[in-house]
Amino acid sequence: MEKFFGELDRYLFHNGTHYELYNKMGAHLREVDGVKGVHFVVWAPHAKAICVVSDGNGWTPWTDVMQKVDDAMWELFVPGMCEGVKYKYLVVRADGSEVYKSDPYAFRSELRPATASIVADLEKYKWGDKDWLAEKKDENFLEKPMAVYEVHLGSWKKDLSKWDEDQYFDYRRLAHEIAEYVKWMGYTHVELMGICEYPFDPSWGYQVTGYFSPTSRYGSPEDFMYFVDYMHKNGIGVILDWVPAHFPKDDYALANFDGTPLYEYGDPLRAEYPEWGTKAFDLGKKEVSNFLIASAFFWVEKYHIDALRVDAVAAMLYNSFGRQEWRPNINGGNENLESFEFFRHLNSMLRSRTSAFLIAEDSSIIAGVTKPAKNGGFGFGLKWNMGWMNDTIKYYNTDPIFRPYHHGLMTHTFEYAFNENYMLVLSHDEVVYGKGSMINKFTGSKQDKLGSLKTCYTMMMGHPGKKLLFMGQDFAQEREWNFETGLDWFLCDDEGHRDVLNCFRTLLHIYRERAVLHNDCGGETTCEWINSGDYNRNIFTFIRRNPWNYNNALIFVCNFAPVERYEMGVGAPVDGVYKRIFSTYPDGSPLEITAREELCDGRKYKLVFNLRPYESCIFEVPYHESTPQEEAEEKTVRSRIKKEYKEATSDFSHVPKTEVPEHLSAKPAAKKRTAKSKS
C-alpha cells in the first residue's frame, strides 16, 4: 500500500516548506480498499516504537502498532476507527521509557484536565461566508478601518443557569451575543484570546498544547467554525491569538516528545524561558519551523481566520530575552537569526497565498517589523504600538497638576507613528496584575476619571494607527480583569458608565466613516500638529487629513485638565464654517463656528469656542474645490499605495528554495505542490 505521507510530503516537510502539512500529519479519516478507518502520521525520529491507544481498542497498548516509514516518520491505518474516537500515542522513547502523548497535530482535544486527542472531521461544516472571503481577497487592509474588540470568551459573560464552576457560554451562543454587541458598538473585528487548546486556565491560553485544536472549553471544532462563519456573515473580522514562541512542559504534550529535545532546543542556554517556565521552539529545525508555519496556514485555511496576532515576538527575536545566561548567534550578537528567517518566510508565504496577515505583539527596538523582507524587514502586516501604550498610560497616571512636565510623552508618539504599520492597543495586559482598570489609571473624583477616560479614547481615535480595546474598558469597567468572572455589565445602567459607552460608540462610528482616520497608507502628511506645545494647559490640538489637501479633514482638540478654557483659540487651515461633529460631553450638540482671519498657532485662521473640563472635540474642516495640483498629487499617492501593497504581498526573497527531486516532480500530483512551494 502506498504510504499516505508520501515521499514528496516527507521531502517538503524535512525542508520546511510543506504548507498544507495539516492535511497529512495527525489523524485523518480515510477509506483504503473500500475499508473506512483513520490514518495516523507522527514525527518522532528518536522513538524506538510507537502505538496508538484509544477507546476504540480499549486503551490496550500494542494493539495498533505504527510503522516507521523513514528515519523520522511513523504511520498507521486503523480500519473501522471513526470520528469521535479518543486516542493517544504510546511512545517508547530513546532511553526505553514509555510515555503517553497527545497528538501534536490533533484537530480536537478533550476538555481539561483530560488530555486525549479526538478524531475529528473538519470537512463536514458548510461555510456561508463566501461573500466575505471574496471581498477580502484583494483588499488592502491598511486602507480600511480596523477597530478591534479583544475578548476572552470564558469571562465575557457567564451562564448563570449552569451549575458547573466554569459557567461558559458555548461558541454558538457567544457568536450571536458578541456579534450583536460588536455591530451595535461599531467595532470591525474581534480578537480572541486563548483559542488554541491549553491545559492551564490562568495562562489564558498562552501556554498552548494544541496548535491545530480549538479549545474544547466552549464546544467542538464545528461550533468554532460556526462562530467564525457567523461573525463574517455579520461583517466582523476574526483575529486569533497565536503563540509560536514557547510551549508548556506538560509531559503529555510536546516537551521531550520522543525522549529527546525534539520541538525545543537541546542547548540548555536556549531550551527554556525561565521567567515563564516554558520550552522554547527550536526554529533551527526545519520540521519545527514547518509545524508552526502549517499551524498558521491551518487556522486561515480551515477556520477562515482573518489575521493572527503573534504573541511574545520580542522573546523570539532575542536569545537574551528573560535569560541571565544566553548563547550568542554566529555573529556574536543576541539576535535569534533563526526567528528572523522564520518570520520572513511565514509572512511572505501567508500574505502571498491568502488575504490573511500576522500582527506582531512586539516590544523590541528592531526596525522594519512591518517592512517587506527584501528591504530588511519581517513582513508583518501590523505591529502593536507598545511605545504609545506605555507613554500614554504613564501620562494618564500623572496628576493633571504635574502633566505639563510629562507633555512630551503624548507628543513623542506622533514622531514615529508612521515608522511601522501600527496598531494602538489598550489590551488585557494593561488591566491585570495590579495595574487596575483603564478608568482607575486616572486621578481625581469619579467624574474626573470618567471625563479623562473619554478624552483618552478621543485622543486614541485621532492618533494614527489601527485600534484595539480590551472588553469592558469601553464602559469603564472598574474592577481589574479576572479570567474567572464575567464582566460587570450592570455598570452600563449607571449614567456615567453608559455615557462612556455611548462616547466610545460614537467615536468608533466616526472612525469607520472617515477615511482620514482609518486609512493608514498616506504617511506623515496625514497628521499635522496645530499646537503640540500647549503643555501648561494640558491641551493637544492636531489635524487628520488627506495627503493632498484638507478636504474631509478633522481637527482634534483634547483637554486633559479639569479646567474650563473660555474663548479657546485654535489655529485653522482654511477659511469657512467649521462643524463640531463630536464632543465628549453628552450635551455636545452640533456647533458651527466661522473661522476668523486672525493669526493663531502659526496659521492664518482661528476658531474660538469654550472648552469644558476634560472635554475633547472634533471639528470638520470645510470643503474646498481641489486644485489641479492637488488632483495630480492624489493620483500619485494612490499609485504609490497600490505599488507598496503589491510589493508586500509578492515578496519571496526569504522563502527557502525547495528544489524537488526530478523523480518526485514528475508525478502529476506533485506538480501542483511544487509550484506552491516555489510560488
* 598 catalytic per annotation: no
Q: What secondary structure letter does DSSP report for 399?
A: -
Residues of 623-655 as b/e, b for ≥16 C-beta within 10 angstroms?
A: eeeeeeebeebbeebeeebeeebeebbebbebb
Q: Looking at 129, 223, 311, 534, which residue is catalytic?
A: 311
pLDDT < 50 positions in the chain: 668-679
311 is an active site residue: yes
Q: Which residue has the cell 506538480?
A: 671
Contacts of 96 (CB under 8 A, 6+ apart): 48
CB 54 within 8 A of CB 85: yes
Residue 444 has which C-alpha cell? 481625581
Q: What is the pLDDT of residue 653?
A: 81
In a 3-state reduction of DSSP, which class is residue 298?
A: helix
Q: CB atoms < 10 A from the CB of 527, how many?
A: 19
> According to the model, what pLDDT value does residue 652 have?
84
Query: Three-class SS string for 49-91?
Result: EEEEEECCCCCCCCCEECEECCCCEEEEEEECCCCCCEEEEEE
Q: What is the pTM of this model?
A: 0.95
The per-residue pLDDT for 672 is 40
Is residue 68 a part of any domain in this protein?
A: yes
Residues 6+ apart with CB under 8 A from 494: none
Task: Tell me how long the chain is.
Answer: 679
- CATH code, 94: 2.60.40.10
Calpha distance 87→64 (Å, rounded): 11
Q: Within a domain: residue 580?
A: yes
Q: Which of 129, 282, 361, 615 is catalytic?
A: 361
Residue 454 within a domain:
no
Domain range for 36 is: 7-122
* Side-chain-facing half-sphere of 590: CA atoms under 13 Å: 6
Predicted pLDDT at 1:
53
Q: How far apart are CA 121 and CA 196, in angstroms?
A: 17
3-state secondary structure of 365: coil
Domain termination residue (choose one: 620, 639, 667): 620
Bridge partners (DSSP) of residue 30 are 37
- Identify whether 232 is part of a domain: no
Grid coordinates of 283: 526554529
Q: Strands (DSSP E) along 366-429, which ranges? A: 382-384, 422-426
From the centroid of its chain, how far is CA 328?
Answer: 30
Q: Which of 177, 209, 208, 178 is nearest to 191 (CA)?
A: 178
Secondary structure of residue 198 in the 3-state scheme = coil
614: in domain? yes
- For residues 239 and 356, what is the distance between their CA atoms, to the nearest angstrom? 10
CA 148 to chain centre: 9
Q: How do 539-544 and 196-197 pair as beta strands?
A: unpaired
Q: Are 464 and 454 in contact (CB under 8 A)?
A: no
- Considering its fold, how many domains does the chain have in total? 2
d(CA 655, CA 678) in angstroms, rounded, equals 8
What's the CATH number where 584 sits? 2.60.40.1180
Contact criterion met (CB below 8 Å) for 678 and 15: no
Q: Which of 79, 104, 122 is the last residue of a domain?
A: 122
Summarised one tens digit per residue, pLDDT across range 259-291 is 999 999 999 999 999 999 999 999 999 999 999
Task: Please tell me what DSSP assigns to residue 481.
Answer: P
Neighbours of 402 (CB within 10 A): 9
Please answer whether residues 451 and 584 qualify as being in contact, where contact means their C-beta atoms are separated by less than 8 angstroms: yes
- Domain membership flag for residue 557: yes
Closest CA to 567 of 532, 544, 545, 598: 598
What are phi and psi for residue 266, nearest 5 degrees?
-85, -25
Q: Quick check: is 276 in a domain?
A: no
The last residue of a domain, from among 620, 635, 665: 620
Judge whether 161 lies within some domain.
Answer: no
Grid coordinates representing 216 are 474544547
Summarised one tens digit per residue, pLDDT across range 179-211 is 999 999 999 999 999 999 999 999 999 999 999
